[in-house]
Amino acid sequence: MMLGPCEVARSIAALLWLAAVRPSPETTLSQVRAAITHETKSKLVRLEELVRAWREGRYRPSDPADLVRILDDVRSVSQSHARLSAARFRSLLLLARIRTLLRATRRCMRPARLGRPLPAGALARLARLIAGLRAADHRHIEEISGRFARRLCDLAIAATDEIRREQGGGLAPGSVRIVLEDLSDEGCPWVPRAERERWLDILRNLIRNAVQATRDREASSAPGAALASPPAVTVRLRPLPTESGAVLEVLDDGIGMSPEQVASMWQDGSSRHGGGRGRGLIEEKRLFLEARARLEVRSARGVGTVVRLDVPQRTIAIAAVRPWQVRPFVAGALLLAALVAGAAHQGGQAELGWVELRQEGVLEARDRRGRFLSRVDLGEEVLPYRPDGGVKTPGAHDVPCLLRRDGRGRVQGVIVATTPERGPGSLWFLDGRLRVERKLALDMRRPRELALGRFLSYWQAFIPWGPRGETALAVSIRDHVYAEFCVLFLDAGRGTRGGAWGDTLGCYYHHGHLSFVAAADFDGDGSSEILLAGINNSAQADTTFLSEDPGVFIDCLILLRTPGAGGQAYPWTTWEGVPPAREAGYVLLPPLRAGLRPQISLVDLMPSFSPDAPAIVAHLVDGRIYYFNWALRPLRCGTGTVTLVRALALDSAIGPLIYFHDGEREEISLPVDRSRS
């Protein structure tokens, strides 16, 4: 969610004033994390419960007042260490983002404070704001924590990655497999930042020696002898059973050591590990470890070695932040505000308004007043952008590109799809002056049997991706000759991933054209789903339907989860090497009678999270109206007043609906209920 420069500047000014007048006493890292993270998390959970209750129609007159008090509590908790946050510009910006999101949340719920229920759009925006608050709060406390300490699990992962690179990524001859187990952030002890390099050095030494001992065992084994399992080195992190902290173990299947070698492995100049000389194991490092952890080394000849470190959670002190330590950031904030104001004044008249298609492949950018800004010749035919995925002939009414906007609605750039006379088309990422930022060739995996023709893209759409309020770009790619289809999900460069425009997030393959319907949180789990409609050309192989008419097209509705949308659709045999997709919901619609395609004409959305209440409504050309819940499970079938289905007086379609959920298939027969429409 983009924040306007004026809002950010106001928030920074308020926070700097607060940091100047509110003292920052000496504290510890655990106290800061408990005060900010744990308190804020419980209050955000209560906010989500209120929004969920309003969506379900459970509204109490006292709810708006409760929500205001909760927002006040969140602001107070997040600003409890304002001077500590202001000591670094990045943490100050994150705290300013939290403050701005809180103000936007208050504005969003203003109708509720006046006694009016919030519409569905406002409730959806409120849910997105709360998700943004949760993500910003997490980044804020992680930024503060990273200033003073590092997690031990992160250091273990970094040391392991470095040793893997030394071995050529595990692909070089003689490389040893290194396994990471249970390296989660939950309960992982923190290490003072000043000790980061020493911990990394010791962990690298232990892992490197374990790798060498494992190689020595392989070299000393009899020729042709097979071990019970491939030897490996394991780095494991588990919680301490009796106190707060973790157990870090480095295990190897190496040659092992005798008790005398274990006793001398840390001796300066003569340290050993396994059959060779120890690397970097000196007495000073042993003393460093024993002062911070309980060290234990167990080894047996021909079996391997285990180095165990019981690392308790330590108190990491944070010194008081003095007012003069914030002054450089006050000057930086004032300079930034001046630069932003100057840039806004100079660039206000030249802001991109829209883009026109003048000739084949030639785009012109104009400002909001219609004045010419720039022109670019892409050298290829520009495909018309249609939000619903319809195939149209370019004309004056077509929009030639998808506009990239910031949080205030200003155009920051454009996305254009083109096609040459031969070969695959391209996707262009252009900035606000139509300069090329990136060009991607439209490509998809080759099907098992059919030869491919030209690749085209009929629609592109920005969609929410995952539970953190991030944004992705969904792009259609179609084989123009054989109508094989795929939806490519690209990084929009807006979320917490920090990716660049066009990085691939996932790919969903389908046997026929798909149109984009909507992207929303249909099931209320905090993560968004994508609703698509189209035809499955390969579903004719299913004899549940018209086995006597193999040329029939089968219409379908698809619900994909984010993140993780990918794989190939039913019947799962067209693309070799692509796993079957596990859609949140997939429905094949049966024809009303032979020779009559059940074409979808309209899809309506009805916000509901009850499994028995309709959330998606599909209107068919023949007059049938299918009602689905939030998981796209068919509930019932109605009909319009003057339709073909009423004229034919049919009680049911030619076959059942075929419903897939998480890879499980189910046949559902729904009679046509003429009493409901």
Structure tokens at 128: 């997105």
For the stretch 638-660, pLDDT in tens is 887 666 666 665 667 777 888 99
Q: Concatenated DSSP letters for 426-484?
A: EEEEEETT--EEEEEE---PPPSSPPP--EE---EEEEEETTTTEEEEEEEEEETTT--
**pLDDT at res. 268:** 57
| Amino acid at residue number 562 | T
**pLDDT at res. 274:** 47
Class of domain 5-149: mainly alpha
**Mean pLDDT on 659-674:** 86
CA distances from 361 to 22, 365, 383, 418 (A): 59, 13, 9, 8
Tabulate helix, strand, coil % of the chain (nearest 5): 30, 30, 40
**Mean pLDDT on 61-81:** 79
On the question of pLDDT at 105 being above 60, the answer is: yes
**pLDDT at res. 67:** 79
**pLDDT at res. 650:** 66
**Mean pLDDT on 393-418:** 67
On the question of pLDDT at 223 being above 60, the answer is: no
- Contacting residues for 154 by C-beta, under 8 A, at least 6 apart: 188
Average pLDDT value over all residues in the chain: 78
Could you give the CA distance from residue 532 to residue 530 in angstroms, rounded to a whole number? 7
Q: In the chain, which residues fall in CATH 1.20.1420?
A: 5-149
For the stretch 437-457, pLDDT in tens is 888 888 787 776 665 667 777
Could you give the CA distance from residue 77 to residue 168 in angstroms, rounded to a whole number? 48
Residue with the bigger pLDDT between 280 and 534: it is 534
645 — phi, psi (to 5°)? Answer: -65, -35
Structure tokens at 418: 């083109």
On the question of pLDDT at 222 being above 60, the answer is: no
Span of 145-154, 485-494, 559-568, 636-645 with lowest mean pLDDT: 636-645
Class of domain 167-221+228-312: alpha beta
Max CA pair span of the chain: 96
On the question of pLDDT at 378 being above 60, the answer is: yes
Could you give the CA distance from residue 97 to residue 137 in angstroms, rounded to a whole number? 9
Could you give the CA distance from residue 79 to residue 85 in angstroms, rounded to a whole number? 8
Residue 350, number of CB atoms within 10 A of its CB: 13
pLDDT-derived band at 371 (thresholds 50, 70, 90) equals: confident
- Contacting residues for 350 by C-beta, under 8 A, at least 6 apart: 367, 373
**Mean pLDDT on 505-523:** 87
Q: Concatenated DSSP letters for 614-633?
A: --EEEEETTSEEEEE-TT--
On the question of pLDDT at 582 being above 70, the answer is: yes
**pLDDT at res. 467:** 76
193 CB-side CA count, 13 A: 10
Sheet containing 514-520, strands listed edge to edge, beginning at the edge strand earlier in sequence: 514-520, 529-536, 554-561, 585-588, 657-661, 664-668
**Mean pLDDT on 520-543:** 81
**pLDDT at res. 213:** 87
Strands 294-300 and 304-312, sheet pairing:
antiparallel
- Contacting residues for 501 by C-beta, under 8 A, at least 6 apart: 429, 437, 438, 490, 491, 492, 493
At 260 the three-state DSSP class reads helix
Could you give the CA distance from residue 219 to residue 344 in angstroms, rounded to a whole number? 68
- Is residue 312 within 8 Å of residue 240, measured between CB atoms? yes
Residue with the bigger pLDDT between 229 and 139: it is 139
- Helix residue ranges per DSSP H, 109-234: 110-113, 120-148, 152-166, 196-220
The C-alpha angle 134, 140, 145, rounded to 5 degrees, equals: 125
pLDDT-derived band at 436 (thresholds 50, 70, 90) equals: confident
Could you give the CA distance from residue 287 to residue 296 in angstroms, rounded to a whole number? 13
Could you give the CA distance from residue 456 to residue 442 in angstroms, rounded to a whole number? 7
Could you give the CA distance from residue 7 to residue 10 in angstroms, rounded to a whole number? 5
| Amino acid at residue number 64 | P
Taking each continuous run of H as one helix and of E as one strand, the counts in the chain are 14, 35
**pLDDT at res. 407:** 66
- The model carries a pTM of 0.47
Q: In the chain, which residues fall in CATH 3.30.565.10?
A: 167-221+228-312
**Mean pLDDT on 483-503:** 70
